[in-house]
Amino acid sequence: MNRITAFTSLLFILLLCADVKAQAKLQIMTEELAPFQFLDSDNTPTGVMVEVVQAIINEANVPASIEVTGWTRAYRKTLKDNNTLIFSIMRTPEREKLFNWIVKLYTNRVHVVSLNNDIGLINPNNAKEYTIGTVAEDVSEEMIRQLGFEDKNITLGADYIQLWKMLYHGRFDLILMSDQNHILQLKKLGYDVSKLKYHFEITNSMSDMYLAANINNAKPTMDKLKMAFKIIKSNGIYKKILSKWEIQIDD
């Protein structure tokens, strides 16, 4: 009888722990990348993807907080810590097994651009002859290496704010630019966007922006988030949020 009681007590404790784990508060990490995600004047996370992720959280009815921080910190923390998620992260073959890919939030358009100077029209075949800037450990670094760029032609920066300054000061020739967010960022920083020259668009799955999670997160909670996203897309909330921010609807 004592053994049965002990076993029952142990089973109850295990179930309780599992429930606590499933309901643990999620920490959702992201970087500053307006208009997708950024801090407003009160240092509160805002932006179109912040609102989408918050709508997912609300629909799933799970406790969670959103933190805007540096990309490297957000990426490494989500890799390392349970109950963490990250957005808007690009899904690549190199990252496939590192995260639990919850939902695709949006597909972004990415172009290779330069300053509108003496550089002629560049295409995917001759782009690697020029120098290019990118954020270290960002998907943009993977993109340019797939185009054939080697270390000698790559300048690494901590973030795009640093890279824009370097581009406008002639430190390198090319950079990858997202139509939706970087134009806004450049204007906010005071740069003349009319000086930019578009060369070609990069069209592959690495333009897809995801909400992804630490691979050890509780599956029931992650399933709730997946279902919640389906609901906000079907009931019009997703479309309403994108329209509010004047973002092209991703069908």
Residues 146 and 219 in one domain: no
The answer as to whether 250 is a domain residue is no
Q: Quick: pLDDT tens for 33-76.
A: 888 999 999 999 999 999 999 999 999 999 999 999 998 899 99
Residues 129 and 237 in one domain: no
pLDDT of res. 138: 80
Residues 44 and 128 in one domain: no
How much is the average pLDDT of 181-189? 84
pLDDT of res. 5: 54
Residues 23 and 82 in one domain: yes
pLDDT of res. 137: 78
Residue 13 has pLDDT above 70, yes or no: no
Output the six-digit token pair for 217: 């997160």
The answer as to whether 201 is a domain residue is yes
Residues 38 and 119 in one domain: no
Output the six-digit token pair for 79: 């890799």
pTM comes to 0.72
Residues 167 and 83 in one domain: no
Residues 121 and 84 in one domain: no
How much is the average pLDDT of 129-148? 89
Residues 6 and 102 in one domain: yes
The answer as to whether 188 is a domain residue is yes
CA angle in degrees (0–180, nearest 5) for 67-72-77: 60
Output the six-digit token pair for 14: 């295990």
Q: Are 195 and 115 in contact (CB under 8 A)?
A: yes
Separation between Cα atoms, residue 77 and residue 118, nearest integer Å: 42
List, in sequence order, every beta strand (DSSP E) within the chain: 26-31, 38-39, 45-46, 64-69, 84-90, 99-107, 110-115, 132-135, 154-157, 174-178, 196-202, 208-214
Q: Which of these ranges, 5-14, 104-113, 168-177, 195-204, has the smallest mean pLDDT?
A: 5-14
How many other β-carbons are positioned within 10 Å of the β-carbon of residue 142?
16
- Residue 167's domain is classified under what CATH number? 3.40.190.10
Residue 214 neighbours by CB under 8 Å, 6+ apart: 78, 79, 80, 81, 82, 83, 84, 85, 99, 100
Residues 96 and 211 in one domain: yes
Residues 73 and 18 in one domain: yes
Q: How confident is the model at residue 31 (pLDDT cuts 50, 70, 90)?
A: very high
The answer as to whether 49 is a domain residue is yes
Q: Quick: pLDDT tens for 239-249.
A: 999 999 988 77
Residues 19 and 86 in one domain: yes
Q: Report the domain count for the chain.
A: 2
Please name every residue paired with 197 in a beta bridge, in sequence order, or none if there are none. Answer: 114
Q: Quick: pLDDT tens for 212-235.
A: 999 999 999 999 999 999 999 999
Q: Which of these ranges, 5-14, 87-96, 182-191, 215-224, has the smallest mean pLDDT?
A: 5-14
Q: Which domain holds residue 155?
A: 110-206
Q: Among residues 126, 99, 111, 106, which one has the least CA distance to residue 175? A: 111
How much is the average pLDDT of 121-127? 92
Residue 11 has pLDDT above 60, yes or no: no
The answer as to whether 218 is a domain residue is yes
The answer as to whether 251 is a domain residue is no
pLDDT of res. 105: 97
